[in-house]
A and B are shown apart, each in its own frame.
Chain A
């Protein structure tokens, strides 16, 4: 299936949940927030959130700002 993650097209095979995606990207789930198709996904729901072809995922974190 194809996912758009932070604006980048990425291809994955098989069933994938959000917890697995975040881990496969090398990210610490405690330090990010995720939006799936413009809806916030609570951290507690990552493992239960199965991704579908065409999903648009945004993964963000805090950076320096004023």
Chain B
């Protein structure tokens, strides 16, 4: 590592290579214009999107694709709101038809209070999706054992939650994340729970390949500015990880020499 900045520091998922390590959601913004501006400010190359029924009573309502354009961003369709493998497969089949690509984000939720994933059902859904040819990035708990099972089943990326979706609490279990990162041969992304810039930096310092967030930007007082902050935070964390941090010590180590004192 020669300290030259990271123009060549890319990451690859399912055969697609990206330079930005910040994936942003497209929910909870004031409108799609603000959403698009935030995604630009974040320097994102991938955005997550949801799939829902069109509004039949008002088909002229603004549409996401008119603002956050699929030729500018890689769309990562999610299965938010799905509680079974069958729901997830049905949703992503439609997403594949709507978008024409097979890179998807699987999330199978357990309940609406904490929105943590049902891992048994997630693993079952993953196997169903892989059998249908999808490339699946999997939202999961920060459990290294399940992370391994997902990878063994063919997940394209492992995406443990730092904390519950929308909680903004930051990385709750650094040790588990570190264990997941250490064992994984596919990209590991922290997905969900980031609240502010330092949370994203912590995730990247642990060695994550990228961070995925929505609420931390969308619910900031100034979402565009927070998007910019997150861009820098992810770069800072990545650079610190690559630089290799100093050892932790129990006691002080003077920075000025003790010899030659007057």
* Residues in B whose Cβ lies below 8 Å from that of A43: 97
Number of A residues whose C-beta is below 8 Å from B?
26
* A40–B54 CA distance with the chains assembled, in angstroms: 16
CB-CB contacts of B5-31 with A at 8 A, as 1s and 0s?
000000000000000000001111100
B97→A42 contact, CB < 8 A? yes
A64→B60 contact, CB < 8 A? no
Within the complex, the shortest CB–CB distance from B27 to chain A, in Å, comes to 4
> Is B249 part of the contact surface with A, judged by Cβ < 8 Å?
no
B56→A66 contact, CB < 8 A? no
* Residues in B whose Cβ lies below 8 Å from that of A48: none
**Which of B75-83, B119-127, B172-180, B224-232 lies at the interface?**
B75-83
**Which of B44-52, B233-241, B252-260 lies at the interface?**
B44-52
> Is A32 part of the contact surface with B, judged by Cβ < 8 Å?
yes
* A60–B51 CA distance with the chains assembled, in angstroms: 6
Q: Is the interface of B mostly helix, strand, loop or mixed?
A: mixed
Quick one: which of A5, A32, A40, A65 contacts B78, CB cutoff 8 A? A65
* A33–B51 CA distance with the chains assembled, in angstroms: 10
Within the complex, the shortest CB–CB distance from A48 to chain B, in Å, comes to 16
Within the complex, the shortest CB–CB distance from B223 to chain A, in Å, comes to 13
* Residues in A whose Cβ lies below 8 Å from that of B214: 65-66
* Residues in B whose Cβ lies below 8 Å from that of A52: none
> Is A62 part of the contact surface with B, judged by Cβ < 8 Å?
yes
Number of B residues whose C-beta is below 8 Å from A?
38
* A23–B225 CA distance with the chains assembled, in angstroms: 40
B32→A64 contact, CB < 8 A? yes
Q: A38-B90, A64-B26 known; A58 and B98 CB under 8 Å?
A: no
* Residues in A whose Cβ lies below 8 Å from that of B28: 64, 66
* Residues in A whose Cβ lies below 8 Å from that of B250: none
B residues with CB within 8 A of A: 25-29, 32, 35, 48-54, 56, 59-60, 63-65, 75, 77-78, 80, 90, 93-95, 97-99, 165-166, 192, 212-215
User: Other CB < 8 Å A-B pairs besides A32-B98, A59-B54, A65-B27, 15 of them?
Assistant: A40-B93, A43-B97, A58-B94, A60-B52, A60-B53, A62-B64, A63-B26, A63-B49, A64-B26, A64-B35, A65-B78, A66-B50, A66-B78, A66-B80, A66-B213
